[in-house]
Chain A
Amino acid sequence: MGRTKFYSVAVMLRQASAFLLVLLAGVLLLEIIFATASGYLNIKFWDVARIVFAKLFGINDSIGHLDEVALAAVWEVRLPRVLTAALVGSGLAVSGAVFQAILLNPLADPYTLGISAGAAFGASLALVFNTALIGIWTVPIFAFGGAAATLAAVIYLTASSGDYTSGNLILSGIIVAAILSAGVSLLKFLADEQVSIIIFWLMGSFASKTWGEVVLAATAVIFGVAVCFFFSRDLNLLALGGRAAGSLGVSPRRISLVLLITASLVASVCVSVSGIIGFVGLLIPHIVRFLTGPDNRRLIPVSALLGACLLLFADTVIRTALPNEIPIGVVTALIGGPVFCYIYRKRQAGSLG
C-alpha cells in the first residue's frame, strides 16, 4: 500500500513540470553569475551581472569604474568556460534522453554507439601527428570528424543487418567502438611523450575555453534540442514498439534515423569541445524521468536545464574549491557512477525508470 502511495505521488509530480522548468531556468541563470563571480580573483556578484548586462547591450558606461583585470577575467576567461560547461551539460543530457528513447534502453547514453571512441580516435590522431592544419580548431575538428565517421559506420552496419532496431544499433556500436579503442591504444603507443596530452584530452576539461567554442556549442545544442523537442511526441510512440508506432502514424525508421543523427551530432560537438565527459548523458535523463515521467515533451526540456545546472556546478566546484584542478570527466564518473548504482538499485526495487 505504501508503495502504491509513493507512485501516485510520483505521478502527481509529473504535472508540475512547467514549474520545474521555470525553477531550473532561474537556478541556471543565478548559477552562471555565481560561477563567473567565484574563483581565485574575487569579483562581486553584482559586478558580474553588471558586466554581462553592459556587454550584452553595448552600454560600457556602467562598468567604466571596474578593474581591467576583473573585466577580462569575467568576459574573456570565466564566462566562456561557464557557458561552455552549461551548454555541454545540456547537450549531453538531451542527447542521452533521446538515445534512451530510440534504443528503448534506459541504460543507453550519448556514447553507446561509439561516438566517444570515434572522437577519441580523431583527437588522438591530431595530437599524435601534431598537426595544426586549422590552428586551435584542429583537435576539435578531428574529434568531430571521428565521431561523425563512427556514426556513419554504425548506421551503415545496422542498415545492412535489416532494421534500426535497438539491438542491431547497440551491437554495431560495440563493434565499431571496440575497433576504435584498439586504434586509440595504438596511437597512444606511438605517441611517446605526446601520450600525456592524449590522456588529458580524453579525460575532458573546460579549462581555457574561448567564445569560439561557446558559439559552436551553442549552435549545435540549441539546434539539436529544438529538433529533438519538435519530434518529442513522435519519440514517445517508439516506446510502444515499431509496429504500434507505425500504426499511429509515425515511421519508426525515419524518426529513429533523424533523431539518432541529431543527438549524435550534438554529442559529437560536445565531445569535440570538451573531451569525454561520462555519466552526464546517462544520469540526468534518469533523474529527470523520475520527476517528470518518461514523456519526452517534458523530459527533453527539463533534462536540458538540469544537465546545464549540474555540469556547471561540478565544473565550478573543481575550479574554485579544490586546490588542484581535477579533469571534469573523472569527477563526473566518480560521482555519477555511485549515484547511478543507487538509482539502479532503486529501479530494481520499483521499476520506476
Chain B
Amino acid sequence: MYELKNVAYAYGSKAVLSDVCLRFDSGCFYGVIGPNGSGKTTLLDLLAGHRRASQGTIAFKKKKLHDYSRQALARLISLVPQQFAITFPYTCKEIVMMGRHPHIPRFARPGVEDYSIVEKVLEQTRLNGFENRLVSQLSGGEGQRVVFARCLAQQTQVLLLDEATSNLDMHHSLDLLDLAAGRVKQGATVIAVLQDINLAAMYCQQLVCMKDGQVLACGPSADVLTAQMLKTVFNVQARVEYNHFSQSRQIVFQRRAGHEN
C-alpha cells in the first residue's frame, strides 16, 4: 500500500523525521509506538498527505502520494486526529455524515446509501441514540468515538488512527480497536499510533518503533516487542511474556526506583 524511501521531514530547521524507510501492506494492522515527540504524528501527517516530505519519496498504491488530488486521497485514506475538538454545536449525526463528504458531489444531498452507511456506523460504534446530541455537549471519550465513527463512514482502504483511544475507557478502547481489526479482515490497512503498548501487542500484527525521528525497529509485533527494545526506546524496565488469556504478548512494568520525589 505504502512505500517510504529515505523520508525526512523538518519543521523549519528542526528535523523531526530522518531517513525513514517503511513498507505498509494492505490487509494488515500496523501499530506505531514511541516516546512523546518521536515523530509519530508527523509520520501520520505525511501518510495522510497533510504534509509533504522534505526529502525522500512516499509511494501510495504504486504512485507518488502527491500525484493524487486531495479529493482522491480522501476517498482512500481517513484519519482520526489526536486533537478532535469540534468548535460549533453540530449534532453527532451531522459530524458522522461529514465522513461522506468526499463521496458526495458539491450541492448534492446525501443519498440513500450515505444515510444507510451513517446509520450502520452509528450502530457499530454504539452511538445510536446519540444522533441528535450536540457534539459540544459530549464528554471527551464520547466525542472521540464520534470522530472515529466519522472516519469509518468515510469507508476508506486506509485508516490512520492517531491515539484514537486516548480518551476512551477500556470497554470502548477494545470496541474501537475490534472495529478497526474488523476493517483489516475485510482488506483495509490500519496504521495506529498507540500509547498503550499492551493494546498494541493485542491488536497490531506489525509494529513500527520510533525514537528521535527515526525508525528503531519494525516488523512482526512478537519480534519488535522485547524487554531490550522497551528499555532502549522508553527507558523503562519491562518484562514481556506471552499471555494465554489475552492471546498475545503482554508487558508488565517495574516502578522506577529513586523517582518518588
B84 touches A239 (CB 8 A): no
* Contact call B101/A247, Cβ cutoff below 8 A: no
CA A283 – CA B193 in complex, angstroms? 42
Name the residue on A nearest B83 (C-beta): A241
Question: A182 near B: Cβ within 8 Å?
Answer: no
A295–B90 CA distance with the chains assembled, in angstroms: 7
Candidates B86, B94, B99; contact of A295 at CB < 8 Å: B94
Which of A239, A244, A295, A353 lies at the interface centre, i.e. has the most chain B CB atoms within 10 A of its CB? A244
Q: Is the interface of B mostly helix, strand, loop or mixed?
A: mixed
Q: Which residues of A contact B50 (CB under 8 A)?
A: 242-243, 246-247
Q: Which of A223-250 contact B (CB under 8 A)?
A: 230, 233, 236-237, 239-244, 246-250
| Minimum C-beta distance from B113 to chain A (A) | 18
Complex Cα spacing A237 to B50, Å: 15
Interface members, chain B 85-122 (any A CB < 8 Å)? 85-91, 94-95, 98-99, 101-102, 106
Task: From B29-37, B67-75, B171-179, give the one contacting chain A.
Answer: B67-75
A241-B81, A351-B136 known; A11 vs B102 contact (CB < 8 Å): no
A233, A240, A243, A353: the one contacting B136 at CB < 8 Å is A353
Q: How far is the CA of A285 from the CA of B178 in the complex (A)?
A: 41
With an 8 A cutoff between CB atoms, is A168 at the interface? no
How many residues of chain A get a CB closer than 8 Å to chain B's CBs?
30
Most A CB contacts (10 A, CB to CB) among B77, B89, B95, B134 go to B89
> With a CB–CB cut-off of 8 A, which chain B residues contact A156?
none
Q: Given A11-B132, A295-B90, do A244 and B84 touch, yes or no (CB 8 Å)?
A: yes
Partner of B98, one of A7, A246, A248: A248
Cβ–Cβ < 8 Å partners of A295 in chain B: 90, 94
Q: Which of B47-72 contact A (CB under 8 A)?
A: 48-50, 70-71
Q: Is B3 engaged at the interface, CB distance under 8 Å to the other chain?
A: no
A324 within 8 A of B: no
Task: Decide if B89 touches A236 in the complex (CB within 8 Å).
Answer: no
Residue from A244, A247, A353 within 8 A of B89 (CB atoms):
A353
Q: Which residues of A contact B86 (CB under 8 A)?
A: 239-241
**Contact of A106 with B by CB under 8 A:** yes
Chain B residue nearest in CB terms to A351: B136
Q: In the bound complex, do residue B137 and residue A248 qualify as a contact, i.e. CB atoms below 8 Å apart? A: no
With beta carbons under 8 angstroms apart, the residue of A11, A105, A242, A246 that contacts B70 is A246
Query: B158-202, CB under 8 A of A: which get 1 and which 0?
Result: 001000000000000000000000000000000000000000000
User: Can you name the residue of chain A whose Cβ is closest to the Cβ of B136?
Assistant: A351
Partner of A293, one of B87, B90, B99: B90
B residues less than 8 Å from A128 (CB atoms)? none
Docked Cα-Cα span, A289 to B102, in Å, equals 25
Contacts of A248 in B (CB 8 A): 74, 98-99, 101-102, 154
- Picked from B73, B78, B87, the residue with its CB within 8 Å of the CB of A239 is B87
Q: Chain B contacts of A105 at CB under 8 A?
A: 87
Given contacts A11-B91, A289-B88, A240 and B70 within 8 Å (CB-CB): no
Chain B residues contacting A106 (CB-CB under 8 Å) are 87-88
List, in ascending order, chain A residues with CB within 8 A of B19's CB. Answer: none
Does B79 reach chain A (CB closer than 8 Å)?
A: yes
**What separation, in Å, do the CA atoms of A10 and B82 have in the docked complex?**
30
CB distance from B122 to the nearest CB of A (A): 15
Residue of B nearest to A230 (CB): B106
**Given A106-B88, A249-B73, A293-B89; A244-B136 close (CB under 8 Å):** no
Whether the Cβ atoms of A246 and B49 lie closer than 8 Å is yes
The minimal Cβ–Cβ distance linking A106 to chain B, given in whole angstroms, is 7
At the interface, yes or no: A294 with Cβ under 8 Å from chain B?
A: yes
Does B147 interact with chain A (Cβ within 8 Å)?
yes
* B188 smallest CB distance to A (angstroms): 15
Structural contact, B91 and A247, CB atoms closer than 8 A: no
A233 to B94 CA separation, bound complex (whole angstroms): 12
Given A237, A244, A250, A293, which contacts B91 in the complex, CB threshold below 8 Å? Answer: A293
Residues of B within 8 A of A (CB): 45, 48-50, 70-71, 73-75, 77-79, 81, 83-91, 94-95, 98-99, 101-102, 106, 132, 134, 136-137, 147, 150, 154, 160
Additional 10 contacts, C-beta under 8 A, given A244-B147, A244-B150, A246-B70: A105-B87, A239-B87, A240-B86, A243-B83, A244-B84, A250-B70, A293-B89, A294-B89, A351-B134, A352-B134
11 sample A-B contacts, Cβ–Cβ < 8 Å, listed by A number: A106-B88, A236-B90, A237-B98, A240-B98, A246-B49, A248-B74, A249-B75, A351-B134, A352-B89, A352-B136, A353-B88
